[in-house]
Amino acid sequence: METVKIIEIKQSVYESNDKEAEKLRNELKERGIFLLNLMSSPGSGKTTTLTQVITKMKDKYRIGVMEADIDSDVDARTIATLGVESIQLHTGGMCHLDADMTRQGLQELTDKSIEFAILENVGNLVCPAEFDTGSSMNAMILSVPEGDDKPLKYPLMFSICDLIIINKIDVMPYFDFDMDKCIENVRMRNKNAKIIPISAKTGEGIDELTRYLSEKIDNWRE
């Protein structure tokens, strides 16, 4: 396995995270960097989904990945094997990333010409939703085994996302998961989010996902 750079993220000192987030977003826009903030529960398949996405998109965009984790560097090493820059952000027990912490991570990416930066946030459906990271897009993954009722129980997360990926559709036959009901529940929280069902394992839906991301990246960088 690759070795990766591990960054110990420091707690932010800024009073207004919203202000710092807006500032970071504007800076990234000027520099032509699209930042994707990817959130989900633990074990929803963030890293596996990113593996698929990066494999399909790395020839088109210069990609840099920041893996946030309380501990361990498993995910960053997995991503590094794909041949893109990947660093691990250790949050020291913190349950989310905010804009300043994201900035600390971006500064550690050595390739300054990246076009598509990806932040894999801490696996948590609660706290990350409360902190704007300065990203160009908020995306989340809901996996089939978690159940179609999750939008009812984690309303903020579902309401702040531009993109909701429904992963592990290959195991739908083995779970009581109703896709129509799930979409209906998502729509109670979020009228406009793009919803894309995928299986990161089999590759189903990945083409639609990468097409959607490419379009958003190209629009952002125009």
Stretch that binds its own copies, among 1-9, 12-20, 120-128, 213-221 (CB under 8 A): 120-128
Q: For 123, what's the count of Cα atoms within 13 Å in the CB-facing half-sphere?
A: 13
Q: For its own copies, which residue of 71, 204, 207, 215 counts as binding (CB under 8 A)?
A: 71
SS3 of residue 66 by DSSP: strand
First to last CA, the chain: 37
Residue numbers 84-113 binding its own copies by CB under 8 A:
93, 95
**CA atoms of 141 and 38, how far apart (whole Å):** 8
Angle at 211 between CA 208 and CA 214, to 5 degrees: 150
Q: Does 145 engage in binding with its own copies (CB under 8 A)? A: yes
Q: Does 127 engage in binding with its own copies (CB under 8 A)? A: yes
Q: Does 203 engage in binding with its own copies (CB under 8 A)? A: no
Q: Which is nearer to its own copies, 1 or 74 (CB)?
A: 74
Q: What are the Cα distances from residue 130, in Å, to 18, 36, 60, 99?
A: 10, 16, 32, 11
Q: Does 204 engage in binding with its own copies (CB under 8 A)? A: no
Q: For its own copies, which residue of 56, 77, 155, 187 counts as binding (CB under 8 A)?
A: 155
Smallest gap from Cβ 163 to its own copies, in A, equals: 18
Q: Are strands 34-40 and 163-167 parallel, antiparallel or unpaired?
A: unpaired
Smallest gap from Cβ 123 to its own copies, in A, equals: 7
Burial bucket for residue 140 (CB in 10 Å: 0-12, 13-18, 19+): buried
**CA atoms of 40 and 134, how far apart (whole Å):** 18
Q: Which is nearer to its own copies, 59 or 93 (CB)?
A: 93
Q: Which is nearer to its own copies, 57 or 186 (CB)?
A: 186
Interacting residues toward its own copies by CB under 8 A: 41-43, 69-72, 74, 93, 95, 122-127, 130, 143, 145-147, 149-150, 152-156, 168, 170-171, 174-175
